Structure 1
Amino acid sequence: MPFAFGALSILVCGPGALADLVVEGLRLEGRKALRIDAQRLETLDPKRIRTLILADPPDASALVEAIAARVEPCGRPRRRATQRLILMHGQDPPPPLPVPDPNGSLRLETFAIRDRAARALLNRWPLHIGMDPGFGQRPHLLIAGFADPAQAILVHALRLIQYGTGRPRISVVCADSDAVGAAFLGAFPQAPEVADIRFGPIEDTPSLLREACSKETHASSVTPTDAVPVTLAVVCLPDAAGEGVDAVRQLVRDIADIQGASPPILFEIGLPLDVGTATARGRIEDWDGQVIPVSYLREACRPAVLLDGRGDEVARTIHDHYRDSIAAQGRDPDGEPAGQPWELLATSYRQANRHQADHVWAKLAVTDARAVPEEMVDSFVLTPLEVERLAVIEHERWAADRHLDGWSYAPVRDNRLKHHPQLIPYADLSEPMKDLDRFAVRGLPTLLARQGLGILRLLIVGIPQPAVGCPGGMRLRRLADQALDRLVARYPDRALVLASTLIDRRSRELVREAMDREQGVGLFLLLPRPLGHVLAEMPDPDDRRDFLTLAARAERRIGLKGETELTTWLAERADISLILGDRIPAGAVEKRVRLDPAGAGLDWNFEY
């Protein structure tokens, strides 16, 4: 019986649950996908295949070679529509594969499941989601358990963890931590050059948390550095359904009790045997505001990641820039290993471009800026001070990428030995070398423009605690509408972000009104104490649901050390204060808008 499929169908071939998961992910987003086995694949006319996904098949090299031979028989490329072949494999490097003719119709792509899942997870929940580099906070990633994809997340985090706020920290707690640490540092001996990395038994998690909250001295520093609470946690335990749930709950309590913090916690839940019935259930009011269930396999199988190459568009643009710069110097980019066309580029160079692309979002966070559709932006230029600050961070990022690839400092470059003379602090670079980093960051607007994106600076509007007698309700919402209209009109070149603890019902009314009414309004959730404490003070289930619904929409969850640091943050980081009531609270900045439903109405103290 003939096998019928449409010309636009995506064919998926491979054993086990992974192929089922790929098909399910494609169909959930409206893609036409069909599962086939290897025997059926041999009978198909290759001219009718437009996209074929090989889901981690056995003997991948032989299978790809056989497909390539059928698509381009006798090595003679035929002119016809591009045929896309995606090989999913465990992690980089990929298995040895034939190199298709770049002028032929077959486009071969390799997809490292754990590596790409780690990229996707840290793009959706970036390392700065629980911190504010503009307030001098630095990242501290905690990894509990070392089941998949923990190592891939650890490595990718090391490539992205530079924010220019001091030496970052990573803590890994797991079973057999000595062996895990030795194996990791054996594979990545230069990793300690990138960040402070601590390995410890999972039962000693409280000790590591206490150590991170004490003054510490790094070997390269003569002065102690500030305490650094956890800003993001990832839990990857072998038995997610059993010990994992209890371990996550204990981790939430330990971080709150010891550090007074409540960072987002990504909880790798794995997959049940019947992947087709795996659904997330629960009510928002049952959520603790912190734990976010994730599945790295599901993340990798999302069409945006697997098919649409999210992140690779920017990476390809970066590589095109590099090829253009080589040509501008009078050299042939095709004659250099790092200058090959993307289709022929070695995996290590592709990854270097991807890592630079992924770090764009960290640079925007450092600059208090956001990528938006290009039509929303007239122009954007980094100031000289911003260029210099980002150039330092870009050099640190580049050095981290080189260190993790096994390179070390030497006065003379040697590609075979992986020696590089530029693996030194930015301040010690020559001016021409510094200019390379400056050039890279000055190109950010152009780089994003090629993806149809522009850059807007943030307008941070702080909302201090409302006055006791300030009423809420319709009058407050109308005043909020008026204030929002005027702010948007007054600052068309800024992206509005509201910063609030959301503890007070009236603040939540204002934030919800703004976010529901005006597209693109963001939210920084300010946490002067752990989320569990905040929720415990909300006995009313409606208040709890209201708080959690808004908290889920926050793009940052910034941990602060009590009310004093909250006041300091509002005074130092807000551009404008939105005052609710008839008094000016602590933390208000010079530019203020007062919403007083019971008295003066809307009162501005600056020109708008």
Structure 2
Amino acid sequence: MPFGFGPPPVLVCGSEPLAGQVVAGLRGEGRRAEALDRERLLELDPRRIRTLILADPPHAAALVAALVARGRYNRRPGRRPGRQAMRRLILMHRQDPPPRFTMPEPHSPWRPETFAILDRAARALLGRWPLHLGLDPRFGQRPHLLIAGFADPAQALVVHALRLIQYGTGRPCVSVLCAQRDAAETRFRSAYPQATAIADIRFAPVEDLETLLAPVSRVMDGRSASEGRVPETRPPVTLAFVCPGDPAGEGIELARRLVDTLAALQGVSPPVLLETGATSGPGRTPAAGIEDWDGQIIPVSYLREACRPAVLLDGRGDEVARTIHDHYRDSIAAQGRDPNLEPAGQPWELLATSYRQANRHQADHVWAKLAVTDARAVPEEMVESFVLTPLEVERLAIIEHERWAADRHLDGWSYAPVRDNQLKHHPQLIPYADLSEPMKDLDRFAVRGLPTLLARQGLGILRLLIVGIPQPAAGCPGGMRLRRLADQALDRLIVRYPDRALVLASTLTDRRSRELVREAMDREQGVGLFLLLPRPLGHVLAELPDPYERRDFLTLAARAVRRIGLNGETDLAAWLSERADISLILGDRVPEGVVEKRVRLDPGGSGLDWNFEY
């Protein structure tokens, strides 16, 4: 096969349309890729292969065995084989567990890997759009994931979300709307009988959307009735996926109905990810068509996500998991044992799928723990040091135990006073408070190691500095003078707090606030944005009839790292008072209830006014 100059292309062989999707995904990001059928593959000289992807081929085990047999070393008895280039073989399959196949002999040049399409797609989707995208766990908000439609990758999303849904804010919720409700629920509960130990899971027919959502209390922060609020029974939806059987037909209509119903019944506008299918066009994403974007529905494709070179070839998402595993191997060696002699201590390339998955699940939850800690990962050179406080360690240890328990429950384990691996019984599947101190120390040890774990990836941890921006005073002028004052104030805050990552929190409904936020995010790399939504997004857009203002709002909304739904102006004031570290006041009037530390920007009067030392 004449491959031409440069490195050999990635070869792809398997079932259509998956094989074609893989080739298109690789070529779309500048990778060389060639498709070939089974017969041509088995005729090819194995020395011409460097990376081979088998895209869910029929009779996968037989094909792998034939390839390995053709690539064996030819050597005389008693002689060691010569050095040969390693041949990477990636076997894509629908979902774990992978197909059984015979592993190559130790000196074989073949290095087989398995790639579960649905499981890796779910990880990639919830990595890019995490469960905390639409909530603030530090404000007491509980995650509530809604799945509308139960076509692929719906079940994989539910399962992986259950592994990540622990934020220490009470019992999380998952709602599933699907046409064949009874069959889907029976199938899911049969596969994951212990799932209800993790979250409140409800299935309902699609036509019962309004009924399912109507009883939900609009209270979002879990405060007690003694504080003047009625305790909630089920929180509003914080993130939604639409997974229709016919993406080109029913999908967009179902997504629009969901958006309208959530706004009318719950007063919230969470991100709604719409599965568009593998063969549909790329969709109008916020970056491609901001004028047409409603600010809420985000088109995605699980197959395109899984076939991105970074995920399929480069192990994107596995970096922290591999580091966790390397740390485990080091700990075994430090105890004087050989990790290669233990099933869980094998090198990553030889590690059994179940052990790889356990590392991946622990790694994927790192970002939830950072969200709970009001921190984020940054390049290591930006951080001098980071240590969790004792209170943070204990909070995260509770969450880590809940995460571990969720992973065990999804694997079919249940509580029993004596451990039995055959029956999947475990004595530690109890609340954290009931654990012995040595068992609690295991969870504490795991979370104390977060800074070291990320440091092995060249990352450090910075705490957030949340700067709240209340609604500007009516007479506050905008323009260049306000932007200059904002630049001066933010520059001084960055110098004053070099060990914090700046995040601005605003509703973005006022042009002057948007000017300030855009200027800060454009000038300073790494400035984040929390979009505060005290009312449905559609209501906000309706109050911005000017096309330029709508585009301005949506462009900034697309850059937000969080979209926090709140229950009206009262909750907005409470959030700014409780969660902001500093208030940035625009104008000559200081609103009631803002945090003690504040900087007032008065372009028409006194300029900058600080009420604390900076």
Q: With the length of structure 1 as denominator, give the TM-score of the two structures.
A: 0.95
Shift of 1:558: 0.2
Match of 1:194 among 198, 202, 205: 198
Letter in 2 for 1:298: R
The aligned counterpart of 1:502 is: 508
Shift of 1:14: 1.9
With over 3 angstroms needed to count, the CA separation of the structure-2 counterparts of 1:215 and 1:362, relative to structure 1, is closer
With over 3 angstroms needed to count, the CA separation of the structure-2 counterparts of 1:74 and 1:58, relative to structure 1, is farther
In the alignment, the residues of structure 1 paired with residue 516 and residue 522 of structure 2 have an alpha-carbon distance, to the nearest angstrom, of 10
Match of 2:98 among 85, 94, 97: 94
Shift of 1:211: 2.8
Q: Is the 8 A contact 2:415 2:428 kept in 1?
A: yes
Are 1:237 and 2:244 matched, yes or no?
yes
The aligned counterpart of 1:459 is: 465
Are 1:337 and 2:343 matched, yes or no?
yes
Q: Kindly provide the CA deviation profile for residues 17-55 of structure 1, in whole angstroms up to 9, marking residues without a partner as x.
A: 222221222122221222222222223222232211111
With over 3 angstroms needed to count, the CA separation of the structure-2 counterparts of 1:432 and 1:148, relative to structure 1, is same
Q: Is the 8 A contact 1:77 1:103 kept in 2?
A: yes
Q: Is the 8 A contact 1:77 1:105 kept in 2?
A: no
Letter in 2 for 1:302: R
Q: Kindly provide the CA deviation profile for residues 105-126 of structure 1, in whole angstroms up to 9, marking residues without a partner as x.
A: 3221111011100000000000
Q: Kindly provide the CA deviation profile for residues 501-541 of structure 1, in whole angstroms up to 9, marking residues without a partner as x.
A: 00000000000000001000000000000000100111111
The aligned counterpart of 1:536 is: 542
In the alignment, the residues of structure 1 paired with residue 215 and residue 74 of structure 2 have an alpha-carbon distance, to the nearest angstrom, of 64
Q: Where does 1:485-496 land on structure 2 (aligned, <5 Å)? A: 485-496=491-502
With over 3 angstroms needed to count, the CA separation of the structure-2 counterparts of 1:227 and 1:410, relative to structure 1, is closer
The aligned counterpart of 2:113 is: 109
Are 1:13 and 2:13 matched, yes or no?
yes
Shift of 1:482: 1.1
Q: Is the 8 A contact 1:77 1:101 kept in 2?
A: no
In the alignment, the residues of structure 2 paired with residue 214 and residue 458 of structure 1 have an alpha-carbon distance, to the nearest angstrom, of 28
Letter in 1 for 2:383: V
In the alignment, the residues of structure 1 paired with residue 407 and residue 56 of structure 2 have an alpha-carbon distance, to the nearest angstrom, of 27
Are 1:561 and 2:603 matched, yes or no?
no
> 2:209 is paired with a residue of what secondary structure?
helix
The aligned counterpart of 1:439 is: 445
Q: Is the 8 A contact 1:181 1:199 kept in 2?
A: yes
Bigger Cα displacement from structure 2, 476-485 vs 518-527: 476-485
Are 1:84 and 2:91 matched, yes or no?
no
In the alignment, the residues of structure 2 paired with residue 178 and residue 504 of structure 1 have an alpha-carbon distance, to the nearest angstrom, of 47
Shift of 1:345: 2.0
Are 1:515 and 2:505 matched, yes or no?
no
Are 1:60 and 2:57 matched, yes or no?
no
Q: Is the 8 A contact 2:122 2:160 kept in 1?
A: yes
Letter in 2 for 1:231: T
CA RMSD of aligned residues (A): 1.9
The aligned counterpart of 2:487 is: 481
Bigger Cα displacement from structure 2, 550-559 vs 409-418: 409-418
The aligned counterpart of 1:578 is: 584
Q: Is the 8 A contact 1:79 1:104 kept in 2?
A: no
Shift of 1:78: 4.3
Letter in 2 for 1:267: L
With over 3 angstroms needed to count, the CA separation of the structure-2 counterparts of 1:3 and 1:308, relative to structure 1, is closer
In the alignment, the residues of structure 2 paired with residue 213 and residue 173 of structure 1 have an alpha-carbon distance, to the nearest angstrom, of 19
Are 1:283 and 2:289 matched, yes or no?
yes
* Structure 1: segments with no counterpart, 5+ residues: 217-222
Match of 1:367 among 369, 373, 376: 373
Shift of 1:415: 1.1
> 2:152 is paired with a residue of what secondary structure?
coil
Q: Where does 1:265-344 land on structure 2 (aligned, <5 Å)? A: 265-272=272-279, 278=282, 280=284, 283-344=289-350
With over 3 angstroms needed to count, the CA separation of the structure-2 counterparts of 1:189 and 1:314, relative to structure 1, is same
In the alignment, the residues of structure 2 paired with residue 279 and residue 212 of structure 1 have an alpha-carbon distance, to the nearest angstrom, of 32
In the alignment, the residues of structure 2 paired with residue 545 and residue 454 of structure 1 have an alpha-carbon distance, to the nearest angstrom, of 35
Shift of 1:280: 3.9
Q: Is the 8 A contact 2:236 2:268 kept in 1?
A: yes
> 1:129 is paired with a residue of what secondary structure?
helix
Shift of 1:214: 7.4
> 2:360 is paired with a residue of what secondary structure?
helix
Shift of 1:80: 2.8
Q: Kindly provide the CA deviation profile for residues 57-81 of structure 1, in whole angstroms up to 9, marking residues without a partner as x.
A: 1111111112222333369764233
Letter in 2 for 1:113: I
Identity, % of aligned positions: 77
With over 3 angstroms needed to count, the CA separation of the structure-2 counterparts of 1:505 and 1:517, relative to structure 1, is same
Q: Is the 8 A contact 1:172 1:200 kept in 2?
A: yes
> 1:459 is paired with a residue of what secondary structure?
strand
Q: Is the 8 A contact 1:314 1:451 kept in 2?
A: yes
Q: Kindly provide the CA deviation profile for residues 532-579 of structure 1, in whole angstroms up to 9, marking residues without a partner as x.
A: 010011111111000000000000000000000000000000001011
Are 1:589 and 2:588 matched, yes or no?
no
In the alignment, the residues of structure 2 paired with residue 541 and residue 2 of structure 1 have an alpha-carbon distance, to the nearest angstrom, of 54
Letter in 1 for 2:123: R
Q: Is the 8 A contact 2:216 2:233 kept in 1?
A: no
> 1:381 is paired with a residue of what secondary structure?
coil
In the alignment, the residues of structure 1 paired with residue 338 and residue 592 of structure 2 have an alpha-carbon distance, to the nearest angstrom, of 62
Shift of 1:587: 3.6
In the alignment, the residues of structure 2 paired with residue 261 and residue 381 of structure 1 have an alpha-carbon distance, to the nearest angstrom, of 36
Match of 1:164 among 153, 156, 168: 168
The aligned counterpart of 1:421 is: 427
Shift of 1:392: 0.4
Q: Kindly provide the CA deviation profile for residues 272-297 of structure 1, in whole angstroms up to 9, marking residues without a partner as x.
A: 3xx6x655476312211110000000
Q: Is the 8 A contact 1:594 1:603 kept in 2?
A: yes
Match of 1:206 among 194, 202, 210: 210
Bigger Cα displacement from structure 2, 321-330 vs 461-470: 321-330
Bigger Cα displacement from structure 2, 596-605 vs 457-466: 596-605
Match of 1:550 among 545, 549, 556: 556
Q: Kindly provide the CA deviation profile for residues 285-342 of structure 1, in whole angstroms up to 9, marking residues without a partner as x.
A: 2211110000000000111111111121211111122223333344443343323332
Q: How many aligned residue pairs are there? A: 599
In the alignment, the residues of structure 1 paired with residue 413 and residue 81 of structure 2 have an alpha-carbon distance, to the nearest angstrom, of 39
Bigger Cα displacement from structure 2, 519-528 vs 7-16: 7-16
Shift of 1:135: 0.4
The aligned counterpart of 1:219 is: none
In the alignment, the residues of structure 1 paired with residue 69 and residue 444 of structure 2 have an alpha-carbon distance, to the nearest angstrom, of 46
The aligned counterpart of 1:220 is: none
